[in-house]
Amino acid sequence: MEELGRKSVEDFKLADKKPLVVVMDNIRSMHNVGSVFRTADAFLINGICLCGFTPQPPHRDIHKTALGATDSVDWMYYENTVDAVLALKERGYQVLAIEQTEGSILLNEFVHSNTPTAFVFGNEVEGVSDDVIQVCDGVIEIPQWGMKHSLNISVAAAVVLWEFVRSNK
């Protein structure tokens, strides 16, 4: 394990983070929540906003996929996702929904503006709420060419976070 160069929780907390926050808009699955925590830890992002009925740690089903990332990644809870988006915007974040909608920008065509960024990921069935999209600064869509045109929220988060980190080294 030492050869992997893993950070301790204390080292993670002290490390410089990517100027990035994940907002989860009414996610149902505890496993999806845990998986996003684990991805957030992997890419050293600033934190996570859990909103609405999104499950919150501690819970064994979240821990099952997070593998301790709920201890390393800072998170906060908002009863209403719109309030989370507005709070992030007040702190200078550009807030972008990840959704398939008219006027969306394809992820591979998105040019980051070097400002702190927050990505909003929506419910497994309904996606990002329309009222949340209305207060976001824009919408990014992950290009897809298959039949389903749908990704699990934890997979979508991994794709988007990796693309952000990869293109902003």
Sequence ranges of the domains in the chain: 2-167
Q: Which residue has the higher pLDDT, 112 or 23?
A: 23
- What pLDDT score was predicted for residue 14? 82
Mean pLDDT in residue range 81-105: 97
Stretch 12-23: mean pLDDT, rounded?
90
pLDDT band at 167 (very low <50, low <70, confident <90, very high): confident
5 has pLDDT over 90: no
- Tokens representing 106? 């394809």
Q: What is the pTM of this model?
A: 0.94
Task: From 85, 64, 75, 65, select the one nearest 135 (Cα to Cα).
Answer: 85
- The class (CATH top level) of 2-167 is alpha beta
Average model confidence (pLDDT) for the chain?
93
pLDDT confidence of 125, banded at 50, 70, 90?
A: very high
Q: What sign for the dihedral angle of Cα 55, 44, 78, 70?
A: positive
Amino acid letter at 56?
A: Q
